[in-house]
Structure 1
């Protein structure tokens, strides 16, 4: 894979990963105080979104691959590694907070006594992840911009 193809894919995949994350963040102020029945109804719009988690997997993979490809240049390498680590943090946050809340409520089909606490856990973990994805996109872009072709005049 050429450097430029990998760089293009890093930016595109990282940007695509920001779309669902940003949507969760944008919806947070409107959803966080909804009553239980309304919140559960609204959650139905996310059925099928699990497939979008593949964007995180693709993003961590392509950012790590770019780090390997540009490893001879200090800043592009470090920035790519940092972007890959941000996407790894997305998985950590998801599996520590978002996924357990989804599981406890049967993907928001079953109300539990602590559903409001689980809602906060889910919504704020998605918010944190949108920040990590945005930072990863910035780092990936900076990696691309800092890379210099070597051996050419």
Structure 2
């Protein structure tokens, strides 16, 4: 996640790459700290206190919250990864040698 935040800063002058990188970074930030600490960790905290004799009657609600929070995290992480990958692919030239592209960017002051 920290690398995505740094990457977002580094590509801020490239409009399409910046937009895709920003979307990916936001999705990753939503996935880990937000969803995890708002939905998954409260269930983990409750679960650590349970014993075989103290399982609550609404344990299925807790299980569902835990499962759905993991599913939501996966969706946000997947979207974040895909948009970060796409941000790299839109910047990759199709038929030009890499050395030519790097030289051009160095002249523009982008690298």
Q: TM-score, normalising length from structure 1?
A: 0.55
Where in structure 2 are the equivalents of 1:1-153 lying within 5 Å?
Answer: 60-90=1-31, 91-106=33-48, 110=51, 111-147=55-91, 149=101, 152=104
Instruction: Give the number of the structure whose alpha-carbon radius of gyration is greater.
Output: 2
Distance in 2 between residues matched to 1:123 and 1:82, nearest whole Å: 25
Q: Residues 64, 82 of structure 1: CA spacing in aligned structure 2 closer, same or farther, 3 A cutoff?
A: same
Aligned-residue CA RMSD in angstroms? Answer: 2.0
* Distance apart, 1:64 and its partner CA: 1.1
Are the counterparts in 2 of residues 105 and 115 from structure 1 also a CA contact under 8 Å? no
Are the counterparts in 2 of residues 105 and 112 from structure 1 also a CA contact under 8 Å? no
The count of aligned residue pairs is 93
1:72-94 Cα distance to aligned partner (Å, 9 max, x none): 10011111111111011112111
Q: Return 5+ residue gaps in structure 2 as ranges.
A: 93-100, 106-111
Distance in 2 between residues matched to 1:86 and 1:98, nearest whole Å: 17
**2:97 corresponding residue in structure 1:** none
